[in-house]
Amino acid sequence: MPEYERKDYTDIYGAIMSFDKNKETPIHQWYPFVEGYASDFIKSIVDELNYKPECCLDIFSGSGTTNLEMQNMGIKCYSFEISPFMYELSRVKLRTDYTLNNFDNNVRKLKKLISKSPLDIENFEKFPQNRNYVEKEGLVKWHYDTEVMRGILDIKYAINLINDDLYSPLFRIALASILLKVSNMYRNGKCISYKKNFDKRQMLSRLDVHECFYERLDNVFRLDIENIEKNNINQIVNNYNNCKHGDTRELINTLDNNSIDLLITSPPYLNSRDYTDSYIDELRVLGYMDNISSEQSYRSKTIRSHVQVKWDKNNPLEIPLLIDSYNKIKEYEEEFWNNSLLDMISGYFWDMDTIFKSLYDKMKFGGSIFFNVANSAYYETEIEVDKIIAEIAENNGFKVVEIREARRMKPSSQQRKKFDYLIESVIVMKKELAS
């Protein structure tokens, strides 16, 4: 059994492993993706390499930080994303053919259409019919006040009427960026929750929603598009068409062998968090998913890091560190809050094994991997995800250079009695040159 020690990188990575720094960074700021890392993390990796990558890969693209930063540095980057919302977000951010004049013209059209929106807009544009989405008699809690819903529908209706391949997706992302702000919800770790005393605050009007949207377009998107237009003349690489939608476990196999010399990615953490729940309002309200069947199909194609799907049963991989944690957790089986917990844990590492098996042929000899993960804990047992993935990678031919402790994260309330923190790591690996 390999012995892996973690090297302390908390001083270096502490400030750049969180998306917070991106909230005021041009283009990255278009949508606040709380799970992402900052653009400075990508820059720090490229700076430490002793070569300039020709082709990079991010197999869990999220909001597209890696592929956008690579594009800014003139480096080709393939990126894969299963979420239809995150996929569109990445593609919108990678476009370089926006112009200020066309943006302004389309915004004027948009505002004119919104001002003429039908009073009974809900008869012209769809809003999710899920229970608790819109206030109605008998409900104690709801996601959107009626007038807020109408304000959102006014904007959706106008965007659809414009029907422009370049600017309609951009406007959808701008609308996505204000959805929680105008709702009664906030993002709460694993999902979205109700704002405290939401029903006692002053309610927003339909026009308030329009103004919030316009403010976002005028004060954030417009300024960035002005800079995109200025910088476009120097654009060397565009990664728009290299951004692919689908299951990363399948998409890896579409790459050419020996084509990737740098991989930077962060898979879903093994924390039973389903990103479908975290971004369910964006997925539903903006029409990326319009029924339960499409949601179930999407969830079933995600990495096995959550229990919202009943996964197939698999015995854990033959890795002593994993088997030890698995068996300790199994002792509490009668107390499980979900019967799929063990299937999730074993399935997660089978997925990682599938990924590293496929990656080996795709990476160039001498190519580097920076794999950002976090450890987990269930029933007072820590799962050292970083060390287990390191062993999986080595079993598939890669060499682990080091495991870098990036941050110390607060455990869930159930685990705080046992653990002061859980470690987030960056596993650095290489495909070594053939001897």
Over the chain, what is the mean pLDDT? 93
Measure the N-to-C terminal CA separation of the chain; round to a whole number of Å. 24
**Burial grade of 245 (CB within 10 A; 0-12, 13-18, 19 or more):** middle
Burial 77-89 (b: 16+ CB within 10 A, else e): bbbbbbbbbbbbb
State yes or no: pLDDT of 18 exceeds 90: no
Query: What is the distance between the alpha carbons of residues 236 and 238, in angstroms, rounded to a whole number?
Result: 7
Q: What percent of the chain has pLDDT over 90?
A: 77
**Is 222 found in the same domain as 188?**
yes
pLDDT at 190 over 80: no
Q: CB burial class (10 A; 0-12, 13-18, 19+) of residue 196?
A: exposed
Residue 245 sits in the same domain as residue 264: yes
Residue 268: CATH number of its domain: 3.40.50.150
Same domain, 50 and 17: yes
Q: Is residue 19 part of a domain?
A: yes
pLDDT average, residue stretch 40-55? 94
Most confident of 15-19, 34-38, 39-43: 39-43
Q: Find tokens 């495991």 and name the residue.
A: 403
Q: Do 48 and 141 reside in the same domain of the chain?
A: no
Burial class (CB in 10 A: 0-12, 13-18, 19+), 345: buried
For residues 184 and 109, membership in a common domain is answered with: yes
With bands split at pLDDT 50, 70 and 90, how would you rate the model's confidence at 434?
A: low
Residue 106 has pLDDT above 70, yes or no: yes
| Shared domain check, 252 and 219 | no
Q: Which residues of 118-135 are buried (b: 16+ CB within 10 A; e: fewer)?
A: eeebeeebebbeeeebbb
Host domain of residue 60: 6-83+237-272+307-430
Express each pLDDT in 262-306 by its tens digit.
999 999 999 888 888 899 999 999 999 988 888 888 999 999 999
- Using the predicted structure, report yes or no on whether residue 99 has a pLDDT greater than 60: yes
* Same domain flag for 242 and 226: no
Give residues with Cβ within 8 angstroms of 64, minimum separation 6. 79, 81, 86, 89, 90, 91, 93, 94, 243
pLDDT for the residue numbered 13? 92
**Taking 70 as the threshold, does the pLDDT of residue 1 lie above it?**
no
Coil, strand or helix: which one is 366? strand
- Residue that has been written with the tokens 């299963």 in this structure: 82
Q: Which residue has the higher pLDDT, 390 or 434?
A: 390
Among 208, 234, 260, give the residue marking a domain's end: 234
Claim to verify: residue 193 and residue 329 sit in the same structural domain = no
Tell the residue number behind the tokens 């029924």, with chain if given: 291
Residue 316 buriedness (CB in 10 A; 0-12 / 13-18 / 19+): buried
Q: Point out the domain boundary residue: 181, 208, 234.
A: 234
Output the pLDDT for position 15: 81
Tell me: do 209 and 251 sit in the same domain: no
- Based on the domain organization, do 247 and 364 belong to the same domain? yes
Mean pLDDT of 110-125: 97
3-class DSSP assignment, residue 382: strand
Cα→Cα distances 210→78, 363, 394, Å: 36, 48, 53
Q: What is the average pLDDT across 395-412?
A: 92
Looking up tokens 């059994």, which residue turns up?
Answer: 1
Number of domains observed in the structure of the chain: 2
pTM of the entire predicted model: 0.94
> Domain check: are 362 and 243 in the same one?
yes
Q: Which of the four pLDDT bands, split at 50, 70 and 90, describes residue 22?
A: low
Domain-terminating residue out of 234, 255, 290: 234
Same-domain check for residues 176 and 243: no
